Structure 1
Amino acid sequence: MSSPAPSASPADPVASSEGAIAVPGLKRTLTTLSLVGVMYFNTSGGAYSLEGVVAEVGPGLTLLIVLLVPLIWALPETLIVAELSSMLPVEGGYYRWVQRAFGRFAGFQNGWMTWVYSLLDMALYPVLFNQYLAYFVPGLGGPARWAVSLAVIWGATAINLRGAFRVGRVSVFAGAFIVAGFLAFALAAIPNISHVPWKPFSTGGEFGAGAMGLALSTVLWNYLGWDNASTVQGEVVDAERTYPRALFLTLPLVTLGYVVPLMAGLAASDGTTWREGGWPQIAEQAAAFGGRWIGGWLALGGMVSALALFNSLLMAYSRIPLVMAADGLLPAALAKTDERGTPRNAVLVSAVFYSVFSLFSFGHLVTADVLLYSLALMMEFAALLALRIREPGLRGPFRLPVGAAGVAVLAAVPALVLTVVTVLNLRDPEYGAPAVLSALAVAAVGPALYAIARRGT
């Protein structure tokens, strides 16, 4: 993949009625292919963690959720984000969209919730790395696992410090390795298919509302993040066209990447024996040939996926403190870029926080993760509706062929999903209720932090 000639990003258009400040020194190096790679790891990274959903609620119910979520959650989000990214192709993405629609206070709240959400989200990937490392090196103790987590975090940080182009290139090659691994697994499982993949439909009476809530949260988490890469639109070539194009290429890639290995694996093996982190063992059980070899490929793929997920998301999330600092809401040092156009300080500070949060457990993290992300996402949906009404002339190359009422209906569907998931999570005293209440408490801190930030400007 050849490197495009870097060019300085033009000043971002005004992103707020109160006057946002553009970030100087950015370079446009991300093309459609590299952006697809980044988006793939902003949202997916392969079918890893879905084997745990099968263990929670059963094969048939897992397949049903995995097929419905893209229709009632990912597709509406993708369409709305595509219009916003085409309308306002600016560095900071969703933070700038909300800021333009509702002002600096609302933009800060969106940025705050996203930042806290990122702390939770990024702690998941070192955990996943260790899960699949255990296939090769079983029995690692707690200190060793944390050391591995730090290696993942700072390895990805080193890639990020080389610039956005390098992150995009790594994402493309890592994505190809993972997609090929699951495709090889599906092909090897075909001769062993002995039953329909959706039987048994569920685990019977063994799961309740709490387990269902956690399963839904995990599948939603596997479809979250279509707006994440919008934060680097100031570093994308022809951003107003490239971002929507990359969205519509990545969504089917992600969906098929879940459905194909799940269908093949469940039809060729006993889904009731599946466990979280179990893809290598599933390959050995389901594959008619090369099971051990493919199992090792999937285990290595899990490690590659976790590193690439952290790598691409570190780039996306680090741009939030970058633009907030440019607006004077965080220390000015976070707004500085180096000769590559990389916000070095924002990347390094982000990596330090993520190192600390890697100590938390997966179950608690994923539930709060989904809720905080969803609250921020609802602000973005509301931003499109507000901009459609107040600034009808503001449009980009891609625009949904519906009016404001159609946008409201489209946004209402994922909002309803969020409500259902939250209610189900509240029924789980171990993971759900504490995580939901903690997420709401964190969101409530935002106004006080904004008042402090304003006094510092």
Structure 2
Amino acid sequence: MEESKKLGLGTFIGMTMALCATVRSIPSVAATGWSQITYMIFAVVFFALPVALISGELGTMLQAEGGPQLWVKTAMGGKWGFVTAWLLWVQMFPGMVMVASTIGPLWGNTFGNVALGNNHWFILANILGFYWIITVLNLKYDMAKVGGNIGVWLGVYIPIVIMLIMGIAALIKTGINPASYLGTFSWGKLIPSFDNLSTLQYFAAISFIYTGIEMSSVFIPRLHNAKKTYTRGIFIALAGLVLMNILNAMLVANTVPDGQIQLSNITQPILLWCHILGWPTIIANIFSFMVVIGVLIQLSAWVTGPSKTMTQVARNGQLPASFGYHKVNKYGVSRNVVLTQSICISLFALLYGVMKNVNNVFLTLTNATTVIYALVYVLIAIAIIRLRQKQPDLERPYR
């Protein structure tokens, strides 16, 4: 690639942050109060940063298509490559339900009916209805071209700016709220105490913020001075993600009364800020509508993305031909894979029918997704050790 067309540090930082930026996790982070700072540092140092650096080496060493599946397959054989592809696919089942569960509360807030948005049956109906509509559209049309970057702007960037502006304005007006999740500061609140281990249930949700960071390694061949730019870019991008999440989560934690946070309702603090500032609640309605459109477009991108790993392993002969997973339509999408995952996602969604506590379902789904994804990261870590032993002379553009 010509030097003039190489990606610079600033562009790479923006592209990396776009992979992990989300507003969905902010209520989960806020629910931990002051201890969110400790949890966030731990998640970055022991989870996100090692994964990003390991992926940087593997991604430049093995640049063919396949990502984590290719890395593990090269190091440990076809069987473990299949396991990796399988795990990356099945993490979608609880993961997509968790993402789609925000649609119900967002619709409720869009039309000013907060109670309806928090009804578990209404949330279930929204997940099933919209996910199947998106599935059908992805089978009929090339939806990747329809969404583009609109979903990221509507679902992430603009909402984050709105939350920061309103949260800071409310903080200036009210100061620290002692009755909130944050409460008054003390050094002891930074460390989760044995008396209050309940915040540990949110640690997986905080770690989940950084899942997908390994995908930044695909940009390495396009970077100017890759070795230096990748390392600096990853550190700066992670610092940006930490600041973005902690600033917003602190503002939310200082507003929501202790014990009343709604994990799947990102509009809850917006409504509270409207009341504190005396601003019209139509801001919350517009905010909710923007985010719901963003979530739907992002869901659409995920319908076909991970399914392609299963199509690849089917073509490698690791799945029975009778499944038909190897057959694709003119958009390169396997109808059988997509329908199978939609049925499985629908079954996971039924948790909202059998469990009335919306917060508990959201946490269960988040934790399940994070644990499955963490298993992939364990396999990737084993892969880099095996390749250092088995193929020490293999060219490593980034080490």
* TM-score between the two structures when normalised by the length of structure 1: 0.65
- CA-based RMSD: 3.8
| Aligned mates of 2:149, 2:345 — CA distance in 1 | 24
Match of 1:221 among 208, 211, 217: 208
Higher RCO (CA 8 Å, separation ≥ 6 residues): 2
CA contact (8 A) 1:113 1:376 kept: yes
Aligned to 2:6: none
Q: How is 1:65-104 mapped onto 2 (pairs within 5 angstroms)?
A: 65-104=39-78
Question: 266-275 or 371-380, which moves further after superposition?
Answer: 266-275
Matched, 1:371 2:371: yes
Match of 2:104 among 123, 130, 145: 130
Distance 1:109 1:86, change over 3 A: same
Distance 1:192 1:363, change over 3 A: closer
CA contact (8 A) 1:54 1:271 kept: no
Match of 2:152 among 172, 175, 180: 175
Instruction: Give structure 2 stretches of 5+ with no counterpart.
Output: 1-9, 352-360
Q: CA deviation at 1:99?
A: 0.7
| Aligned mates of 2:268, 2:41 — CA distance in 1 | 24
Aligned residue type for 1:379: L
CA contact (8 A) 1:146 1:359 kept: yes
Q: CA deviation at 1:158?
A: 4.7
Aligned to 2:5: none
CA contact (8 A) 2:204 2:370 kept: yes
CA contact (8 A) 1:66 1:219 kept: yes
Distance 1:36 1:97, change over 3 A: farther
Aligned to 1:295: 284
Aligned to 1:281: 268
The C-alpha deviation readout for 1:389-427, integer Å capped at 9, x for no partner, is: 322343464x13xxxxxxxxxxxxxxxxxxxxxxxxxxx
Alignment coverage as a number of residue pairs: 355
Aligned to 1:327: 316
Aligned to 2:394: 394
Aligned to 1:51: 27
Q: CA deviation at 1:102?
A: 0.5
3-state SS of paired residue (1:334): coil
| Aligned mates of 2:38, 2:69 — CA distance in 1 | 33
Distance 1:130 1:380, change over 3 A: same
Distance 1:293 1:251, change over 3 A: farther
| Aligned mates of 1:134, 1:188 — CA distance in 2 | 21
CA contact (8 A) 1:101 1:387 kept: yes
Q: CA deviation at 1:60?
A: 0.7
Match of 1:62 among 32, 36, 41: 36
Distance 1:105 1:77, change over 3 A: same
Matched, 1:189 2:170: no
| Aligned mates of 1:172, 1:331 — CA distance in 2 | 37
Q: How is 1:262-281 mapped onto 2 (pairs within 5 angstroms)?
A: 262-266=249-253, 273-281=260-268
Question: 189-198 or 99-108, which moves further after superposition?
Answer: 189-198
The C-alpha deviation readout for 1:266-285, integer Å capped at 9, x for no partner, is: 45675665432443231233
Q: CA deviation at 1:379?
A: 0.5
CA contact (8 A) 1:63 1:259 kept: yes
Aligned to 1:18: none
Aligned residue type for 1:318: S
Aligned to 1:349: 340
Instruction: Give structure 1 stretches of 5+ with no counterpart.
Output: 1-31, 401-457
Matched, 1:336 2:327: yes
Q: CA deviation at 1:358?
A: 1.8
The C-alpha deviation readout for 1:50-106, integer Å capped at 9, x for no partner, is: 324433x3x211243234422332122112222222222333321121111000122
Question: 376-385 or 259-268, which moves further after superposition?
Answer: 259-268
Distance 1:349 1:33, change over 3 A: farther
